[in-house]
Amino acid sequence: MKRILSALVLIPIVLGIVQYGSLELFSILVLGAVVAGWFEYSRMLGAMGTPGFHKLGLALCVLLTLCFYINGFYLIWLAAAPLVLLLHALTQGPILKHNLDQTGYTFLGVGYVAGLMSFFILIRALEPGHFMIYFLFLVIWGSDSAAYYVGRSIGKTRLAPEISPGKTVEGSLGGLLGGVLGGLIAKYGFWHELALNHCLIMALFCGIIGQFGDLVESMFKRAAGVKDSGTLIPGHGGVLDRLDSLMFAGPAFYCYEILIRSPLPV
């Protein structure tokens, strides 16, 4: 029941902001997800015994999200962030390896949480950005749903037993088909200008990358010894639990759109 109630509350809010909100409001939504995701990532680091630099990492997450909003200063951030982290590590005492571990995990986490999530700001700024985000939602939701039901029905071959014992090769293949179906629903439902060849390629590409994102988050949870990344969304776990696939699919979609689809006639 909690799972259903959470979905009934959150889905209309998110879709409403995507459809009717300004880019600024959508960016605030992304920033909220980034902040929540960073707290969850820090919690998992603590469970692993390497807490990282929580406050500094949070500040770097906010600044990186701001870079995506203004679509600039990426190289300055990329040059400054490691320098700031290393200078901070020098002030943390003589345990060199521990300090370097914290530095590395903090930088990794900022890129993982803020770097991946913030690509949705760039996507929303494109035309038609809201259709593109709906496309991604349908692809990932279709992939996740199909992977779950196919895996439960006929799944036998374990995909990555040490990382996520419940995932199967059969479920993964079913998920790719579900993602393609989701992409086709988006094309014929509202994004009519999207050429069929691009629709199929993007849906399959994002479906594959999305499953990789799911496994990456499972790897973090397995290393931390936790079932969910957080408890923010009742019945669903944490923000990272809900967005793990989308976080990887978003950058993949954006790169395809900018580097391949846009220059081609559709």
**pLDDT tens column, 158-185:** 999 899 888 999 999 999 999 999 999 9
Phi-psi map region of 50: left, alpha, beta (phi>0 left; psi -120 to 50 alpha): beta
Reported as a single tens digit per residue, the pLDDT across 184-233 is 999 999 999 999 999 999 999 999 999 999 999 999 999 999 998 988 88
Q: How many CB atoms sit inside 10 A of residue 146's CB?
A: 23
Reported as a single tens digit per residue, the pLDDT across 99-123 is 888 999 999 999 999 999 999 999 9
DSSP line for the chain: -HHHHHHHHHHHHHHHHHHHS-HHHHHHHHHHHHHHHHHHHHHHHHHHT----HHHHHHHHHHHHHHHHHT--HHHHHHHHHHHHHHHHHTS-S-HHHHHHHHHHHHHHHIIIIIHHTHHHHHHHSTTHHHHHHHHHHHHHHHHHHHHHHHHHH--SEEETTTEEEEEHHHHHHHHHHHHHHHHHHHHHT-TTS-HHHHHHHHHHHHHHHHHHHHHHHHHHHHHT-SSS--SBTTTB-HHHHHHHHHHHHHHHHHHIIIIITTS--
Q: In this structure, are residues 235 and 4 in contact, taking their beta carbons and an 8 Å threshold?
A: yes
Whole-number pLDDT of residue 1: 67
At a CB cut-off of 8 Å and minimum separation 6, what does 49 contact? Answer: none
Query: The pTM is what?
Result: 0.93
Whole-number pLDDT of residue 263: 59
Show the tokens assigned to 10: 């959150």
CA dihedral 231, 233, 238, 241 (to 10 degrees): 140
Whole-number pLDDT of residue 196: 96
Reported as a single tens digit per residue, the pLDDT across 13-54 is 999 999 999 999 999 999 999 999 999 999 999 999 888 899
Predicted confidence band at 264 (pLDDT cuts at 50, 70, 90)? Answer: very low
Whole-number pLDDT of residue 265: 45
Q: How many CB atoms sit inside 10 A of residue 213's CB?
A: 24
Whole-number pLDDT of residue 95: 67
What is the three-class DSSP state of 148?
Answer: helix
Instruction: Identify residue 30 by its one-letter amino acid code.
Output: V
